[in-house]
Amino acid sequence: RSFLQQYKDTPPLADEKWDFGDGSTGVTRSDGNARKLNPEGYGRIRHTYAKPGRYLVKVERPDATMYLDVVVH
């Protein structure tokens, strides 16, 4: 029941604030690989849901808000 998201984001370096749709939150940081081979170039976050269901995950950056539809079996 885990959710793992690895992504290459777009510069500039910024925090991504995550709302997993079950009352849990998290923060990641990525520079979009603006500096080649930078270990912070890719964001990665893992979340484990307590029970199966459908969750709307919200990701906020200073310049954008994104939504992911996550189904947990």
Residue pLDDT, tens place only, 11-52: 567 788 999 999 999 998 766 556 665 555 566 788 999 999
Which pLDDT score is estimated for 19?
Answer: 96
| Max Cα distance, the chain (Å) | 39
Mean pLDDT to the nearest integer, 56-65: 89
How many whole angstroms separate alpha carbon 58 and alpha carbon 65?
7
Cα three-residue angle 65-1-15, rounded to 5 degrees: 30
Which pLDDT score is estimated for 21?
Answer: 96
Locate tokens 């310049």: which residue? 63
Which pLDDT score is estimated for 50?
Answer: 95
User: Rounded to whole angstroms, what are the CA distances from 8 to 16, 19, 51?
Assistant: 12, 19, 28
For the beta carbon of residue 20, count every other beta carbon within 10 angstroms.
Answer: 20
pTM of the entire structure?
Answer: 0.75
